[in-house]
Structure 1
Amino acid sequence: MKTGKSTAGDTKARILDATEKLFIEVGYEATSLRQVTSRAIVNLAAVNYHFRSKEMMMQAVLGRRLDPLNTRRLALLDACEARWPGHAIRCEHVMGALFVPALQMARQPEIGGPSFLRLLGRVYSDTSPFIQSYLMGHYAPVFGRFFEAFARALPDVPRQELGWRLHFALKALAGVLAGDELGNLMPAFTQGKSMSDAHVLAQLTSMVVAALKAPAPETQELGALQDVFDIGDAQQADEQAHMEALAATVESEAHQAAVATAAAVSRARRGTRTVRNEGTARAATASLAVRREMCPAFPSNPLDDWMRTRSRN
């Protein structure tokens, strides 16, 4: 029989599991409390009781996975730096200290499980301000430690150059590792052959390390790319000019059509007025004729006739 305490613990775990799966699937912004309660089969009161807000709930999700991961990373980096002190440490050693613990945790369902790498990929790729702020606020010391280790392993790369190269390279590697479940990821890289995790990670890190060590672009390379940009800009300008000319033509044709329509309407109105006026005139003439025809003819007065005759005589 479960106690009240164990039931509360099960409810909290279900909420965290549901939130983690939704975060992996759709990201932080699209994860809603309604979706979490539906996936975890709990009510909103349970979520508010355990976490009080979406932000605190997500912090709990990230903390239970990333805190143990970073503890293992730092311990492994300490061991590597002790074994290969100073500049003796290689870039592959530092890269291994970053990703070996993640692969190990992905093999252990009780602390990570198969979806752990996908969670890391989502964390590194999610652009929401909350996730980015959380990572910088909680794990800046970890990032600093690994940056210094990479700087010792790559002394010829300027620190400013190294910063953005690491940002690009580590996100790319995390995205590859997070692209699928670990069970499907390994066969894709091994192509059916028996291959250890170290071999798979070596295949991936070789490309990343090559990118970190790549020389800075020379003048000829910059010039070649600038030429391509110039061609692209010219094409874009031509396309813009064509669109503007097309828009002007359409506007002119629309104006001409509007003028023609207005003229036709004006002519139609004048014609209507003319017909109406002619009709009015004809009606007036006809009315006058009718009135004249309808005037009665009275007989002459005999006295008037005698007076006119007498005046002549």
Structure 2
Amino acid sequence: MAGRTTSRHAGDTKSRILDAAETLFIDCGYEAMSLRQITSRAEVNLAAVNYHFGSKESLIHSMLSRRLDRLNEERVKLLERFDHMLGERLTCEHVLGAMFIPALRLSRDPRVGGKAFLRLLGRAYTDPSAFIRDFLNAHYASVAVRFFDAFQRALPHLPREELGWRLHFAIGALSGVLAGADTESLIAEFSQGKSMNDLQLIARLASLMVAALKAPLPDASQLAMFAAVLGDATDSDTAADTSAGSDGAAPNREHKAAAAAHEAPDEAGGSGLSPCPADAFLAPAASGTRASSATAGFDGEPRGGALEARAVLPHALHGAT
């Protein structure tokens, strides 16, 4: 009997530590939280943390895994179900549904975090710590690959580089909303006091992301338009030269517009723009000869499957969208 009591007490202590770490991570982020804060909130001593986890890093690994492992298992199961049902008819909406639906279901379950679950996901996706990013990239790379490939099949007209950019922007925006403490109050305000079920919420999320993912590639006229806008913004910094009689402002805009038109997407579907820098999404890639445009992704490295997924979806699949 005494053994059972001791075991139950140890389990309660471990759960309290994990709960405290989760709350502080949501509120403060990885870098700002300390073991002292965790032990104080969990009402345990530092020895208890060392006994159960060994270090802050190991504790955070355990804290994330206990939520995200199940989430990603459910996501993969649902994606496989859609794949089996639809095959080549798999749609962008189904892939997004496989991302969103399990997250919403788990957020309704108080045993796995309840209402705080979505905020945990948002914080995990947006936390700037290299430690969090590296953990997510390494621990859930296979899931990221599955979803990136599914998006590629559902959106075959998009070059992989372009798909990477769009997923990064769309999921990043969604993650920022999830991480906010006022998300629920905003939903209540926007819905004007009316209840919003999962179908309505998923439809709103998916409609925005689908529109972003399916938007046509920018053509020469659009690039020229934004080049002119940037030129006008630059001209404001050189107003002194212009007022002195320089007539170089308009030609400067025309030159930028022409350059933008030259960089417009080609008939083969390429973006025509420089690849995204590798350090925009992940640690600098190994140096070496760049692959051809047919086999290289947005970081200019040869495609092996996991690289683009680690770069694009670490904040979406390791715990989105």
Instruction: Confirm or deny a common fold (TM above 0.5).
Output: yes
CA deviation after TM superposition for structure 1 residue 203, in Å? 1.2
Q: Check conservation: 2:125, 2:175, Cα contact below 8 A.
A: yes
Match of 1:9?
Answer: 11
Look up the equivalent residue of 1:16 and give its one-letter code. L
Match of 2:59?
Answer: 57
Match of 1:36?
Answer: 38
Change in 2 beyond 3 A, CA 1:189/1:82: farther
RMSD: 2.0
Match of 1:279?
Answer: none
Match of 1:98?
Answer: 99
Q: Check conservation: 2:177, 2:183, Cα contact below 8 A.
A: no
CA deviation after TM superposition for structure 1 residue 180, in Å? 4.3
Look up the equivalent residue of 2:44 and give its one-letter code. V
1:273-301 per-position Cα deviation (integer Å, ceiling 9, x unaligned): xxxxxxxxxxxxxxxxxxxxxxxxxxxxx
CA deviation after TM superposition for structure 1 residue 111, in Å? 1.6
CA deviation after TM superposition for structure 1 residue 185, in Å? 5.8
Q: Give the 3-state SS of the residue equivalent to 1:84 in structure 2.
A: helix
Change in 2 beyond 3 A, CA 1:15/1:181: farther
Change in 2 beyond 3 A, CA 1:80/1:52: same
Look up the equivalent residue of 1:83 and give its one-letter code. M
Change in 2 beyond 3 A, CA 1:93/1:180: farther
Q: Check conservation: 1:73, 1:97, Cα contact below 8 A.
A: yes
Which residue of the other structure, out of 67, 72, 75, is the alignment partner of 1:73? 75
Whether 1:219 aligns to 2:207 is: no
Q: Check conservation: 1:115, 1:181, Cα contact below 8 A.
A: no
CA deviation after TM superposition for structure 1 residue 76, in Å? 0.5
The total of aligned residue pairs comes to 239
C-alpha distance in 2 between matches for 1:45 and 1:237? 62
TM-score under structure 1 length normalisation: 0.72
Whether 1:200 aligns to 2:219 is: no
CA deviation after TM superposition for structure 1 residue 198, in Å? 1.2
CA deviation after TM superposition for structure 1 residue 30, in Å? 0.5
Select the structure of larger CA radius of gyration: 1
Extract unaligned runs of 5+ from structure 2. Answer: 241-321
Change in 2 beyond 3 A, CA 1:189/1:180: farther
CA deviation after TM superposition for structure 1 residue 56, in Å? 0.2
Look up the equivalent residue of 1:136 and give its one-letter code. N
C-alpha distance in 2 between matches for 1:181 and 1:13? 27
List structure 1 segments (4+ residues) > 4 angstroms apart after TM superposition.
Answer: 180-186
C-alpha distance in 2 between matches for 1:62 and 1:172? 21
Change in 2 beyond 3 A, CA 1:185/1:63: farther
Whether 1:46 aligns to 2:48 is: yes
C-alpha distance in 1 between matches for 2:192 and 2:174? 19
Match of 1:234?
Answer: 235
CA deviation after TM superposition for structure 1 residue 189, in Å? 4.5
Match of 1:286?
Answer: none
Q: Check conservation: 1:122, 1:178, Cα contact below 8 A.
A: yes
C-alpha distance in 2 between matches for 1:214 and 1:39? 47
Match of 1:159?
Answer: 160
Match of 1:210?
Answer: 211
TM-score under structure 2 length normalisation: 0.70
Q: Check conservation: 1:94, 1:146, Cα contact below 8 A.
A: yes
Change in 2 beyond 3 A, CA 1:97/1:189: farther
Look up the equivalent residue of 1:123 and give its one-letter code. A
